[in-house]
């Protein structure tokens, strides 16, 4: 296992500046956010100027890109075409994991299964992996649903974000049974009431999570995902550095 950070830690900065900040904080691996609303990399940019998108993924101040976190409008007629281009980009840039949002709660189960089957089939042709991201309010917010979908879609993994399972129930361990599907992990500190709190003020048991991942021989990223806040008393850079050091100390144990 190794520690990474998502470029969404600096959502308001251009990608090159976000990468520079993360490099300064001594991260060695990054996960790039891909969305039409993103300041980092847009799906339309990947489709319309593939070479530029590839250059962006290769010019990362020696930080290794471990994954792309992709948000594509599922209503788009060219959805699969856009996703295919993202897979081509990942293959060319030697990026392993593509994280894809699940549908909102209420999305028909069979429809979601068929969508992920299509995505996995495309991704496997390009030698990359697809992972469903844990998100409160989406189908992936229910561990049982995630288990069933991953069971139905061979090759589909999970980008685990424990904080989203803890909202409303900070003592939950319902996601323990999903460890065998984990392809990627996003971490911050949280409580049952707040998705993000200062590192050390929440109840996320990083040691326990890492131990469980070790038990299934997980060897990929632990991705720090701490968003900036409006609280002037919170040192955002300091929080990122604090969690990086904490996770690195646990990985080395």
Reported as a single tens digit per residue, the pLDDT across 19-55 is 999 999 999 999 999 999 989 999 999 999 999 999 9
**CATH number of the domain within which 84 lies:** 3.20.20.150
Using 50, 70 and 90 to split pLDDT, how confident is the model at 169? confident
What is the pLDDT averaged over residues 169-176? 87
What is the pLDDT averaged over residues 67-84? 91
Residue range(s) defining the domain that contains residue 145: 2-252
Closest CA to 137 of 106, 111, 166: 106
What is the pLDDT averaged over residues 177-195? 95
User: Is the pLDDT reported for residue 58 higher than 80?
Assistant: yes
Using 50, 70 and 90 to split pLDDT, how confident is the model at 164? very high
Reported as a single tens digit per residue, the pLDDT across 207-216 is 999 999 999 9
User: Is the pLDDT reported for residue 253 higher than 80?
Assistant: no
What is the C-alpha separation between 171 and 163, in angstroms, rounded?
Answer: 11
3-state secondary structure of 53: helix
Q: Note whether 244 and 5 are within 8 A (CB).
A: yes
Q: What is the pTM of this model?
A: 0.94
What is the pLDDT averaged over residues 151-155? 95
Please list, in sequence order, all residues whose beta carbon lies within 8 angstroms of the beta carbon of residue 186, skipping any fewer than 6 positions away. 6, 133, 134, 159, 160, 161, 163, 223, 225
- pLDDT value for 147: 95
Reported as a single tens digit per residue, the pLDDT across 194-207 is 999 999 999 999 99
Structurally, the chain folds into a number of domains equal to 1
Q: What is the mean pLDDT of the chain?
A: 94
What is the C-alpha separation between 134 and 185, in angstroms, rounded?
Answer: 9
User: Is the pLDDT reported for residue 232 higher than 80?
Assistant: yes
Using 50, 70 and 90 to split pLDDT, how confident is the model at 174? confident
Q: Note whether 145 and 170 are within 8 A (CB).
A: no
What is the C-alpha separation between 74 and 54, in angstroms, rounded?
Answer: 24
What is the C-alpha separation between 119 and 142, in angstroms, rounded?
Answer: 21
Q: Note whether 102 and 68 are within 8 A (CB).
A: no
- pLDDT value for 73: 86
Query: Which tokens hold the place of 210?
Result: 């890492």
- pLDDT value for 74: 80
């Amino acid at each position: 296992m190794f520690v990474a950070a998502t470029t969404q830690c600096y959502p308001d900065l251009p990608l090159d500046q976000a990468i520079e900040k993360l490099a300064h904080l001594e991260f060695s691996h990054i996960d790039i956010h891909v969305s039409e609303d993103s300041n980092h990399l847009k799906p339309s940019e990947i489709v319309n100027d593939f070479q530029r998108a590839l250059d962006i993924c290769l010019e990362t101040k020696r930080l290794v890109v471990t994954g792309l976190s992709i948000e594509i409008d599922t209503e788009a007629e060219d959805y699969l075409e856009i996703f295919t281009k993202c897979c081509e980009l990942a293959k060319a840039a030697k990026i392993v994991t593509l994280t894809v949002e699940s549908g909102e709660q209420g999305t028909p189960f069979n429809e979601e299964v068929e969508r992920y089957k299509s995505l996995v089939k495309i991704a496997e042709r390009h030698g990359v992996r697809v992972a469903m991201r844990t998100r409160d309010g989406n189908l992936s917010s229910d561990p049982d649903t995630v288990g069933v979908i991953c069971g139905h879609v061979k090759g589909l993994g999970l980008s685990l974000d424990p904080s989203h399972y803890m909202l409303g129930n900070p003592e939950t361990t319902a996601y323990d049974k999903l460890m065998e599907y984990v392809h990627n992990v996003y971490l911050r500190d949280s409580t049952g009431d707040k998705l993000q709190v200062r590192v050390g003020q929440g109840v996320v048991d990083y040691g326990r999570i890492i131990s469980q991942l070790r038990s299934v021989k997980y060897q990929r990223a632990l991705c720090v995902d701490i968003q900036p806040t409006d609280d002037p008393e919170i040192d955002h850079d300091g929080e990122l550095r604090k969690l990086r050091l904490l996770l690195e100390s646990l990985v080395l144990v």
